[in-house]
A and B are shown apart, each in its own frame.
Chain A
Amino acid sequence: MNRIALFVPLVLFVVLSLFLFKGLERDPAQLPSALVGEAFPVFALPDLLEERLLSTEDFPSQVVLVNIWATWCFACRIEHPMLNQLAAQGVNIIGLNYKDQTQQAQQWLQERGNPYLFNIVDQQGSLGFDLGVTGAPETYLIDAQGIIRQRRVGVLDQAVWDREFNDLYQQLLGESR
């Protein structure tokens, strides 16, 4: 009995080490999203390219990506070709132009191509606030019922798409048919 008790500190040490070692692998910038599983927030904001007011009513009843972008966001430049590619593959993407200047944003789409079905202009960041956006770029996967299913903070590239989005996207697409 006493001899076994001698090993207690060793066991405690190993358990603590494993716990801390596992903690090293976690990316502290990757926050849990409070809105996964919730409905997309209600909003009424202008369109970037047309004279109209947008709301959740304008979302197609299909699986969509909502991409938060801005011209001041450097990583969005890197991300843009990937969005173009996804749009070419038939993925519906809605843009959320976050705290940006409208004219510059319009120019950006002219220069780099427009992968978006439409763009919501959120100059004050109010919709961004309701979505729990902490910066740009961010991408949300919304199902056909308008429920947020996945969130990506940071650049969406091919690796992230394959790892975190593709399976879920295909599954949701199958469900909605």
Chain B
Amino acid sequence: MISKFQIAYKSLLRKKVRTLLTVVGITLSSLVLVSLFGFNQGYEKALNHDIDNMGYQIMVMAKGCPYEAATLMLQGGKGLRYMDPGMVRDIAKRPEVQATTPILMQAFFDPNKGESGGIAGYFGVDPSSYPAMKPFLRFRKGSWFVSDTAREVVMGYEAAELEQREVGDMTMVPEKNVPLKVVGILERTGTQDDGTIFVPLKTLQQIAGTDKITTIGIKAKKDADLVRLENELYQLPDVQVVSFSQVKQTIMKLIGTARVMVLSIALIAVFIAMVGVANTVLMSVYERKQEIGILKTMGAMPHDIFVLVWTETLMLCAGGSVVGIMAAMLCNGITDLFIRRLLPYAPSGGLVAIDFRLALYTLGIILVVGLLSGLYPAWQAGRMRPLESIRSE
């Protein structure tokens, strides 16, 4: 015939605008909350993905500021100080090390870039060891260099786009005016490799007039003790060790502050929405005082009325929350872009990962908090005495 559920549902429809506004409040707060949870989960995943795509877990570089070094490395910027390539052999001998690769990061000034000139960065890599460390790099066209002294470059996708290069075209190192031939263009990876121009190490050393390197990439053996290896590397003179687990921790620490801030905003939003829910339900209880009194004369027990009002709360919260979570999933891209603008370092790939488990989790939180905020109005309604309610006009 008619259930308590229907009675609750229809009484919400009575004041449509009020119900809608309340639902919108819950929708927005669920949206913020689930996006935030998604970010918590997605950011770390994206960061791990980026770090895995480096191909090596540890970098040794000439001494300098560690933060700067980390940033430079992750953004593919220019190297600052040099170190002796002989160190590569020493490091390669260690039992934990599976492979090493020497790298020279070199920057040249290009006066014909923008109004006041700009920096062009090159990445000198060893054709015999570097490609082996990054087997996941795929070529859109062409391949790696033919020799370690070849006058050739391999370009990341975005670098090729900016320079409008195809395989077979020429490019020129600014400042030194050395022409190099494009032999390979990489597929998009979504990492900083996209913007990198790779040159054979010896070629770059020759152009830059140096026999040094800036960085050594180290790949450890599968079950090697990374911490011990790091500590051993620290003993080497005049170098600093950048381990990606450290980089990750540093970045996560920076992000932590932002996360706390956004979390507090989300909690405030949830709180406001819940005050709204409590208010809406309480008002509708007061407006229906006589009606509730009548229900009681007709045999409704206090707990029936309690359940009735609580069901209304539940409907408001469930409705708003489901819409909000779906909206968050749909607007994932926008949230992603927005967060990217806020962060000091944003890894590539999706930053906001909202999965089914997270959606349920958020729904659960909103429902629990919502039910708590419905507690008082429901209790008020439940304890109304029939005669007093009816006579309250």
A binds B: no
